Structure 1
Amino acid sequence: MSLIDPSVPKWVVDLQSLPASRSKNSSIPDPPGYPSQSAALSKKQASKEAKTQPRKQPTTEEMDTLKLKKAWEVALAPVKSLPMTAIMMYMSGNSLQIFSIMMVFMAFKNPIMGIISTNQAFERFESESNKGKIIQAKLAYVAMQLVALAVGIWKVNAMGLLPTTRSDWLAWEAQREPLELAVPAL
């Protein structure tokens, strides 16, 4: 006689009981990227053995090389955002709208803040042995920030806000003294 209550649905009984373990059919290979259970267990054991071995500490020359590579990545980072900034400025148009004004403000604010915080950006990479090489990266960083600032100046000029024509300076231009005066006759 069975101990299963007839009032309990079959799916509840199936959820409460564990499925019977099936033996793996060796004629069906594992799908690509899914190793078999024995291979997975051997990888776990190998990783445990690898974890027990202590890691060799890098030398100061290796650390300086890594720090210098990271410093150059930081130095060249402003240039990576320039194409997108230039496209956004071009697409925003040359009229005075809130979007174009915000774009110009950000085009000036970000490079100026970057130039001001140059030493802070590179202080984590600087050591006594690589100080001269870090200065090169700092100079490249400042040059890239100036290029980013030039994109902002280009946009301000395109909007007509830079006084580059003669008519922009008429208030300061001296009035010419005529050589002769003509008086109309009555």
Structure 2
Amino acid sequence: MTTQVTVPPPQWLVDMTSTSTALTKPKANIVDPPGFTTLQSKQKSSKTAAAPARKQPTPEEMDTLKLKKAWELAIAPAKQLPMNAIGMYMTGNSLQIFSIMMVFMLFKGPITAMFSIQSTFQRLETDSNRGQMLLVKAAFVGCNFLALALGIWKVNGMGLLPTTRSDWLAWEAARDPLERAYYVPS
């Protein structure tokens, strides 16, 4: 006959599975780490000190906040220009589907943004900041025109503008042929 010897589980397993209250209570000599609060201290602090209510901003403060947000929206197209310029440079000047789609998206974004300028700034415009919003809208249109200018530069580089030479902005000199071919009828 064989006798089975039961090996007791390791102490760490007993500690992990134990539901004794001695383990759940923090030891008196161990300090809580910074920022740690127990459930009991949270309940005590919520009863003693209620959080103060947030003060509602005045209309002048709201107008200032709305104007700051409007300027962020107006300058956003200019923040995208470096990324778009690098993308246009990386696609090259050949006529490929990728470069054509990049140019299409470069034109589509500013054009749709300028057509929806009123709806873009409608929620930020009030009677008191209407005069300042005209300058914001003008900056928005100007930044979108810069993006369109980048698209025109790219289309010119691809040779798609109907100009006689590719140097319509005088970026390169006129090209002279190296030799001429003549047709002589026989």
Deviation at 1:163, TM superposition (A): 1.6
Corresponding position of 1:123 = 122
Corresponding position of 1:45 = 45
**Runs (5+) with no aligned partner, structure 1:** 1-5, 168-186
Deviation at 1:121, TM superposition (A): 0.6
Deviation per CA, 1:124-181: give whole Å up to 9, x if none: 10111111111110111011101111100000001011122169xxxxxxxxxxxxxx
- Aligned residue for 2:93, secondary structure, equals coil
Corresponding position of 2:57 = 58
**Runs (5+) with no aligned partner, structure 2:** 1-5, 167-186
Amino acid at match of 1:49: A
Corresponding position of 1:16 = 17
Corresponding position of 2:148 = 149
* Pair 1:60–1:23, CA change in 2 (3 A): same
Deviation per CA, 1:19-71: give whole Å up to 9, x if none: 74463546x895xxx34658xx48x83798352x2222211111111101100
Corresponding position of 2:137 = 138
With normalisation by structure 2, the TM-score equals 0.71
Asked if residue 112 in structure 1 is aligned to residue 111 in structure 2, the reply is: yes
- Aligned residue for 1:147, secondary structure, equals helix
In 2, Cα distance between the equivalents of 1:16 and 1:153? 71
* Pair 1:70–1:166, CA change in 2 (3 A): closer
User: How many corresponding residue pairs?
Assistant: 156
* Pair 1:165–1:71, CA change in 2 (3 A): same
In 1, Cα distance between the equivalents of 2:95 and 2:54? 59
* Pair 1:23–1:166, CA change in 2 (3 A): closer
Deviation at 1:15, TM superposition (A): 3.1
Amino acid at match of 1:16: T
With normalisation by structure 1, the TM-score equals 0.71
In 1, Cα distance between the equivalents of 2:47 and 2:91? 54
In 1, Cα distance between the equivalents of 2:89 and 2:65? 38
Deviation at 1:17, TM superposition (A): 0.3
- Aligned residue for 2:99, secondary structure, equals helix
Amino acid at match of 2:111: I
* Pair 1:45–1:130, CA change in 2 (3 A): same
- How much is the aligned-residue C-alpha RMSD, in angstroms? 3.1
Corresponding position of 2:177 = none
Identity rate, percent: 55
